[in-house]
């Protein structure tokens, strides 16, 4: 018997991505991403959110961290939402055909 009620999307503060989502910021961002994922999971949130509004540059390292987040979130039954994704991020996701992994709809 499952004692948990229906899943509720409890809001958790989005993680703010750095200006440069590149190899030089990868380790710190990865640590922050995993902490944010843990907070969202522990709070019973339905999604983990990353605000990319100040991100002006992203390379394969940054993309790798976002994909890691998506994979780990999916394992915990959470969606991954990318908020305010600028053109550089959308282009990278489009070129790599990874845009379907992420929810980029506006925050409700």
| Domain assignment of residue 10, yes or no | no
Say if CB 50 and CB 17 are below 8 A apart.
yes
Domain count, the chain: 1
Query: So what's the pLDDT on residue 50?
Result: 95
| Domain assignment of residue 3, yes or no | no
Q: Biggest alpha carbon distance in the chain? A: 48
How do residues 36-61 score in pLDDT, each as one tens digit? 999 999 999 999 999 999 999 999 99
How do residues 14-32 score in pLDDT, each as one tens digit? 999 999 999 999 999 999 9
| Domain assignment of residue 52, yes or no | yes
The CATH number of residue 94's host domain is 3.30.750.24
Domain that holds residue 45: 15-101
Backbone angles phi, psi at 36, to 5 degrees: -65, -40
The residue with greater pLDDT, 81 or 1, is: 81
For residue 5, pLDDT over 80 is answered with: no
| Domain assignment of residue 108, yes or no | no
For residue 108, pLDDT over 90 is answered with: no
Residue in 5, 97, 16, 85 with CA at minimum distance from that of residue 50 = 16
| Domain assignment of residue 32, yes or no | yes
Query: So what's the pLDDT on residue 6?
Result: 45
Angle at 70 between CA 68 and CA 75, to 5 degrees: 95
| Domain assignment of residue 7, yes or no | no
Query: So what's the pLDDT on residue 11?
Result: 64
For residue 3, pLDDT over 90 is answered with: no
| Domain assignment of residue 75, yes or no | yes
How do residues 71-94 score in pLDDT, each as one tens digit? 999 999 999 999 999 999 999 999
| Domain assignment of residue 51, yes or no | yes
């Amino acid at each position: 018997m499952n004692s948990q009620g229906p899943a509720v999307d409890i809001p958790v503060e989005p993680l703010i991505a750095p200006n440069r989502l590149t190899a030089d910021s990868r380790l710190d961002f990865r640590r922050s991403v995993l902490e944010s994922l843990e907070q969202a999971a522990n709070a019973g949130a339905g999604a983990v959110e990353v605000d990319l509004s100040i991100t002006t540059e992203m390379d394969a390292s940054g993309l790798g961290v976002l994909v890691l987040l998506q994979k780990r979130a999916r394992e915990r039954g959470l969606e991954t939402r990318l908020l305010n994704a600028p053109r550089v991020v959308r282009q990278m996701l489009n070129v790599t055909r990874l845009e379907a992994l992420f929810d980029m709809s506006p925050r409700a």
